[in-house]
């Protein structure tokens, strides 16, 4: 995807952010089987420090924060500011304190190596220019 196409996709997600928030419960329910599978496959547990790449309006980060508990943490990232704002607002409504948010893209993550125990991305890989390089197994 060239930069112009990437900007168009990013703008579309920015525009759709209010709808993801409005239909949060329905979207969460529809995507629950994928979220559950992702969490099981990643073997997320109490005390883990997790990175959610392309976390959109907050899922699966919000669910993961409940699993890792107060001794763990979640960093939810997304390139669309509106999605990050939506996720952050929902975490605030839920009183979650072990979750943070950062607006950034998968190909420009501002974290040092070994910061997280694991990284997940529920649907984000479909937007990567080079999925193996940007989100390969380690």
Q: Which residue has the tokens 């759709």?
A: 16
With contact defined as beta carbons under 8 Å apart, do 100 and 78 qualify? no
Residue, of 50 and 5, whose pLDDT is higher? 50
CATH for 3-107+115-122 is 3.40.50.150
Read off the pLDDT of each residue in 87-100 and give the average, rounded to a whole number: 97
Residue, of 73 and 132, whose pLDDT is higher? 73
pTM: 0.83
How sure is the predictor about 15, in pLDDT bands with cuts at 50, 70 and 90?
A: confident
- On the question of pLDDT at 17 being above 60, the answer is yes
Between CA 29 and CA 45 the distance in angstroms is 22
């Amino acid at each position: 995807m060239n930069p112009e196409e990437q900007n168009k996709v990013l703008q579309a997600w920015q525009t759709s952010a209010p709808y993801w928030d409005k239909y949060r419960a329905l979207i969460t329910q529809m995507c629950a089987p994928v979220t559950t599978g992702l969490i099981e496959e990643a073997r997320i547990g109490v005390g883990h420090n997790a990175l959610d790449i392309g976390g959109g309006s907050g899922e699966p980060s919000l669910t993961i924060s409940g699993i890792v508990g107060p001794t763990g943490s979640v960093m939810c990232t997304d390139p669309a500011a509106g999605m990050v704002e939506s996720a952050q607002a929902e975490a605030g409504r839920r009183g979650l304190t072990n979750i943070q948010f950062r607006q950034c893209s998968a190909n420009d993550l501002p974290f040092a190596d070994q910061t997280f125990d694991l990284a997940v991305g529920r649907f984000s890989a479909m937007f990567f220019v080079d999925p193996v390089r940007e989100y390969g197994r380690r």
